[in-house]
Amino acid sequence: MSTKGVFRVKCPSCGDNFDADFWTVVRGDSDADLKDLIISGEFDLLGCPRCSTVFSHEEPFLYLDPRYELLVFVMPENYRPEKEKWLAKMRADYEALDPASFGGRLAGLEPAYFFGVGELSPLLSRDRDMEEESEVLACLAGESNFKTAKIKAGEARLRDLPFCLPYSGPAPVKGGALSAVKKLLAVNDALPRLKNLLKELEVLAAEEIPFVK
Ligand SMILES: [Zn+2]
């Protein structure tokens, strides 16, 4: 579950001070609506209860989505002038996190540190494109009786790949994956990340695929 905190803010228009709710932890894996707000740029918008002015106000929050290997400390953009100080604080906060928190799902996640929700939104927006393409791919693979394996999310972002790998045979290794990818590209050549996957598979020296989960 995502969690909230209350902070006192000042309206830039009328100067009124009021208490506002802020998300302190956003779970991208369970709160699709919050994820959409981040992508659309509405996440940090507040409305003044006195004069109705809408303005943006950022407070620090943690964005977590273990499915896609995301653990992001998001500081307000206006903290950037003191970047080193805040980076040190965020790293200390990360060290202090109980590995058992969030159901033990932090294990193995490499934290990222951003300044401004504006740094997170393009990443999530691109992820959404990748997810959509991966869903189409998984459907196509199923229709052709191929299995799918998960691709490590960080590797998928780095190499611009889908989040899943179709393959034939008992295990996701180079040979079975290559034949499945080639057959699926013959059925649908409109999946750019599937083409990238073909290139990545073709240059592998061994049967083992290092970017598969
Ligand atoms: Zn106001």
Model pTM score: 0.89
Separation of CA 85 and ligand 1 centre (Å) = 32
Q: Give the burial string for 117-155 (b: 16+ CB within 10 Å, else e).
A: bbebbebbeebeebbebbeebbebbeeeebbbeebbbeb
C-alpha of residue 116 to centroid of ligand 1, in Å: 23
At residue 194, the pLDDT reads 97
CA 47, 74, 122 angle in degrees (round to 5)?
85
pLDDT of residue 155: 95
How far away, in angstroms, is 15 Cα from ligand 1 center?
6
- For residue 211, being part of any structural domain is answered with no
Specify the DSSP element, H or E, that contains 201. Answer: helix 192-202
Give the residue from 95, 115, 135 where a domain finishes. Answer: 115
- Domain contains 120: no
> Which of 103, 163, 95 lies closest to 128, judged by CA?
163
Q: List, in order, residues 6 or more apart from 83 with CB less than 8 Å away.
A: 115
pLDDT band for position 93 (50/70/90)? confident
CA of 122 relative to ligand 1 center, distance in Å: 30
* Residue 110 confidence (pLDDT) above 90: no
Of 73, 89, 115, the last residue of a domain is 115
- On whether both 102 and 147 belong to a single domain, the answer is no
Instruction: Mark whether 33 and 100 lie in a shared domain.
Output: yes
Mean pLDDT, the chain, rounded, equals 94
**End residue of a domain, out of 60, 94, 115:** 115
Integer angstrom CA distances of residue 187 from 92, 191, 194:
50, 10, 12
Q: Are residues 97 and 180 in the same domain?
A: no
H-helix or E-strand containing 3?
Answer: strand 3-10
Owning domain of residue 92: 3-115
| Residue 95 forms part of a structural domain | yes
108 and 15: one domain? Answer: yes
CA of 5 to the centre of ligand 1 (A): 21
115 CA to middle of ligand 1, Å?
26
- For the chain, what is the domain count? 2
